[in-house]
């Protein structure tokens, strides 16, 4: 890198030391082909909610393909959810995953331990045995239905100095739904998932957090009621953070199509919900953006809205979508996006940055094409969307792990 072609380093509040480490790394890296005067450098993104499907479901995604897809999206740290086979609910089961991570991951991958045995909600998992090797505890994919079981989990996690990360969903309120219980569902004869199935369990958990004092994080919030409940809890001093996903911030249920690539849980909801989520990222109620990257096979996503598997991929499109549809229109600033995708998740989950960064051309415009994805999963609601921002390279621990 020559002195007259320095890139712009988006460091937000990370300070001079990070900028200097990046510039030092660039000067010795094999990136001579890049026109750095056109480039923007971001600190390594951190996604606290991904599904890499290994062990157990490697045909959907592996840790190798998932971590490389993450690197292509500018991520250098991710946290993997526990809905695997076997479920990481014991030291032995967890080791199967951590061994694969050690052997095949190209970025930092931090596994969750499950809250309950087999994620069945009936018996507490070996939280104490797993604590030193997991980022936090979650039964993501399922809500813990029993108040008493969640209370026990929170007390144990508090004792261990670990966070509870909750997928909030009341099973008895689902009623066989698979998309938002809104106008699209009514117009097309689909069974809907009501908003209360999400916010009611958040409200319950907040009361348990007040009782137990545990650190608590809410996964993928999607409703206006969830935003308001969490906003009030924060005002009361509750130790709570939350995330939402890119698809909830730029889509509403009027944009649905009869295609499995529009099916995820929680579902894309109404325009009013979307507006509330945007207000939440503006005012700080929502702390971070997480993709909930959830790959499935082509066959599993080819059965329409009703019968396809829940989940879409998103780790390779997160920055381009957020930059194009939130930053460029002036809804949030680029520094705020860095807070949501780098600073806040790393601070809350205790994940250090180090010499991790990605190099982007934010002026490049292109159409999202799943055929270009590194991920084995190709189902994205953003297929054919026009975006700005192409990742040229990603560096983790000072080493190039992805290069266009």
**Mean pLDDT on 128-145:** 97
Residue 14 lies in a domain: no
The sign of the torsion formed by the CA atoms of 261, 138, 289, 399 equals negative
What average pLDDT does this structure show over 157-161?
98
Mean pLDDT of 240-254: 98
- Residue 4: inside a domain, yes or no? no
pLDDT in tens, 38-65: 889 999 999 999 999 999 999 999 999 9
Residue 395 lies in a domain: no
What is the predicted pLDDT for the residue at 23?
Answer: 75
Residue 255 covered by a domain? yes
Which tokens hold the place of 301? 């996503």
DSSP state at residue 124: B
For residue range 172-213, list pLDDT tens digits in order.
Answer: 999 999 999 999 999 999 999 999 999 999 999 999 999 999
- Domain count of the chain? 1
In a domain, 243, yes or no: yes
- Assigned token pair, 118: 């087999």
Instruction: Give the structural domain span for 216.
Output: 43-390
128 part of a folded domain: yes
Q: Confirm whether 404 is domain-assigned.
A: no
- When pLDDT is cut at 50, 70 and 90, the band that residue 262 belongs to is very high
304 backbone φψ class: left, alpha, beta (φ>0; ψ -120 to 50) = left
Q: Please give the structure tokens belonging to residue 129.
A: 């045995």
Residue 345 lies in a domain: yes
Respond yes or no: is residue 292 known to be catalytic.
yes
Please report, for the domain that includes residue 243, its CATH number: 3.20.20.140
CA distances from 194 to 91, 183, 220, 245, 333 (A): 37, 12, 15, 18, 32
Catalytic residue, chosen from 47, 252, 292, 356, is 292
Contact 224, 276 (CB under 8 A): yes
CA–CA separation, 74 vs 315, rounded Å?
Answer: 9
How confident is the model at residue 288, as a pLDDT?
98
């Amino acid at each position: 890198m020559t002195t007259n072609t320095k890139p712009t380093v988006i460091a937000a509040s990370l300070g001079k030391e990070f900028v200097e480490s990046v510039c030092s790394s660039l000067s010795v890296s094999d990136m001579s082909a890049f026109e750095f005067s056109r480039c923007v450098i971001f600190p390594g993104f951190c996604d606290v909610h991904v599904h890499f499907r290994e062990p157990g479901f490697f045909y959907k995604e592996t840790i190798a393909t998932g971590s490389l897809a993450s690197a292509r999206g500018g991520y250098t740290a991710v946290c993997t959810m526990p809905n695997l086979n076997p479920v990481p609910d014991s030291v032995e089961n967890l080791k199967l995953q951590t061994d694969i991570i050690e052997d095949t991951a190209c970025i930092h991958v931090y596994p969750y331990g499950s809250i309950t045995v087999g994620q069945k909600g009936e018996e507490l998992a070996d939280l104490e045995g797993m604590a030193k090797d997991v980022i936090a505890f979650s039964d993501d994919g399922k809500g813990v239905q029993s108040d008493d079981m969640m209370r026990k989990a929170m007390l144990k996690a508090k004792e261990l100095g670990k966070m509870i990360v909750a997928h909030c969903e009341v099973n008895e309120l689902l009623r066989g739904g698979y998309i938002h219980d809104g106008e699209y569902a009514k117009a097309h004869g689909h069974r809907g998932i009501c908003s209360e199935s999400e916010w009611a369990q958040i409200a319950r958990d907040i009361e348990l957090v007040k009782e137990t004092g545990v650190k608590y994080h809410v996964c993928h919030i999607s409703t206006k009621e969830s935003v308001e409940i969490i906003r009030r809890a924060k005002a009361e001093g509750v130790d709570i953070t939350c995330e939402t996903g890119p698809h909830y911030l730029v889509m509403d249920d009027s944009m649905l199509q009869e295609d499995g690539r529009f099916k995820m849980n929680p579902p894309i909801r109404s325009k009013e919900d979307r507006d509330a989520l945007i207000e939440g990222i503006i005012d700080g109620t929502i702390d971070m953006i997480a993709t909930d990257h959830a790959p499935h096979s082509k066959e599993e996503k080819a059965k329409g809205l009703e019968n396809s598997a829940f989940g879409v991929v998103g780790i390779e499109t997160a920055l381009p979508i957020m930059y194009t549809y939130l930053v460029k229109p002036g809804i949030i600033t680029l520094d705020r996006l860095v807070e949501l995708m780098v600073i806040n998740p790393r601070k809350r989950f205790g994940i250090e940055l180090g010499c991790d960064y990605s190099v982007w051309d934010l002026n490049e415009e292109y159409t999202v094409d799943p055929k270009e994805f590194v991920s084995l999963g190709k189902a994205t609601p953003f297929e054919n969307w026009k975006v700005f921002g192409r990742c040229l390279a990603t560096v983790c621990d000072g080493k190039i792990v992805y290069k266009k």
